[in-house]
Amino acid sequence: MKVAIIGAGAVGSACLTALVMRGCASEIIVIDRTSEKARGLVTDVQYGATLSPSVVIRAGDYADLKGAALVMVTAGVNEKTGGATNRGDPAGRLRLLDTNVGVYRDVISRLDAVEPEAMVLVVTDPPDPLADATRLMGHGRVLSTGTFLDSLRFRFHLARRFGVSASSVSAQVLGEHGTSEVFIWSSAHIAGVPIQALLSQQRDNDFDKFRSDVEDEVRYANISIIEGIGASQHGIGMVSARIAEIILRDERVAIPIGCYSPEYGVTLSLPSIVGREGVVRTLDPELSMDERRGLLRSVDTLKAALGQIRRSELQPS
């Protein structure tokens, strides 16, 4: 199946490499506003792609989107350029919203002129409000990468602290992919044993400090990465490629992913079964009262962002 990546920057490059390595696409089109950049990226990756399952990779233009099953959009200003790297700023990635809505207006209008039925995967930050913006622009088939990466980071840090493989950890982050995200501690476990019970068996068993430390590492992981290499790219690239694989192969895997919720009125991450048509079904997890309140606060944050988008739509262009 044909997949397209719009945006050949750091994240788009990571998405392409991970997608090639997974071998789930037969053709990958890379589009960038600077055509030389797309061509350079494709030229670089195509040589290493000889080690992967057969795939045609080429730089193209919007006309080449015809027949694409999935379009990953990574275009837009990133956190470092957009000034969203302050741990004390509650807005976080939402600082990028106005600028990146403008980018998406151009991208989605050009996509819809060629392939309006393509599934759009929003990777650009902030992904959940940008998925809502895409929907308001008239493109209904849209998902955001949501809190899938946050959930993997949560699992990683729990695994490291308990000395087990991350594959043995079950833990989710829901709501906004941003500062209001909600860590679902009540159901986090290793082999069926709750995290809090495991912690109680250790000498250093201060759960409140443990929880705060883990949440800070996950919530601000992007900033720590940016401080080191300038862009948070490889993790989200691998996550995006995995989502593409789930969709293209109709796997019906349950993951936390950003999808519009009629109940909440915004795009947010809930555990969802994902297949070729996108989210097939959203699951309703059991949450503690604190987690439920946290999720509603996250919804309020996302609703405020949606209101910001709607107001911008009323401004003369």
Q: CB neighbours of 90 closer than 8 A, spacing ≥ 6?
A: 179
Across the chain, mean pLDDT equals: 95
CATH superfamily of 2-144: NAD(P)-binding Rossmann-like Domain (3.40.50.720)
Cβ atoms of 170 and 256 within 8 Å: the answer is no
User: Averaged over 96-116, what is the pLDDT?
Assistant: 97
pLDDT of residue 316: 47
- Using the predicted structure, report yes or no on whether residue 202 has a pLDDT greater than 90: no
The pLDDT tens digits of the residues spanning 2-37 come to 999 999 999 999 999 999 999 999 999 999 999 999
Average pLDDT of span 134-150 = 97
* One-character DSSP codes across 190-237: ETTEEHHHHHHTSSS--HHHHHHHHHHHHHTHHHHHHHHHSS--HHHH
Provide the pLDDT confidence category of residue 265 given band limits of 50, 70 and 90: very high
| Residues placed in the known binding site for NAD(+) | 7-12, 32, 100
Confidence grade of residue 130 (pLDDT, cut at 50, 70, 90)? very high
Catalogue the active-site residues: 177
What global pTM score does this model have? 0.96
Tell which residue, 61, 70, 65, 64, has the closest CA to residue 121. 70
Side-chain-facing half-sphere of 125: CA atoms under 13 Å? 27
Instruction: Give residue 200's identity as a one-letter amino acid code.
Output: S
Mean pLDDT of 204-217: 94
**How confident is the model at residue 177, as a pLDDT?**
97
Domains of the chain, by residue range, sit at 2-144, 148-312
Q: Give the residue from 75, 74, 96 showing the smallest Cα distance to 85.
A: 96
Which two structure tokens, joined as six digits, stand for 281?
A: 């079904």
Which ranges constitute the DSSP H helices of the chain?
10-22, 35-48, 97-112, 127-136, 148-162, 195-200, 207-219, 221-229, 234-248, 289-314
pLDDT over threshold 70, residue 129: yes
Average pLDDT over residues 71-88: 93
Tell me the per-residue pLDDT of 284-317, one tens digit each, with 9 for 90 and over: 999 999 999 999 999 999 999 999 999 877 554 4
Across the beta sheet with 2-6, what order do the strands follow? 56-59, 27-31, 2-6, 70-73, 119-122, 142-144, 253-261, 266-275, 278-282
Torsion angle of the four alpha carbons 107, 125, 267, 135, in this order, in degrees rounded to the nearest 10: -10
CA angle 82, 75, 179 (to 5 degrees): 50
- The count of other CB atoms within 10 Å of the CB of residue 34 is 10
Domain 148-312 fold is: L-2-Hydroxyisocaproate Dehydrogenase; Chain A, domain 2 (3.90.110)
Q: Is the pLDDT of residue 97 over 50?
A: yes
- The pLDDT, as a whole number, for residue 315 is 56
Q: Strand 193-194 relative to strand 189-190: parallel, antiparallel, unpaired?
A: antiparallel
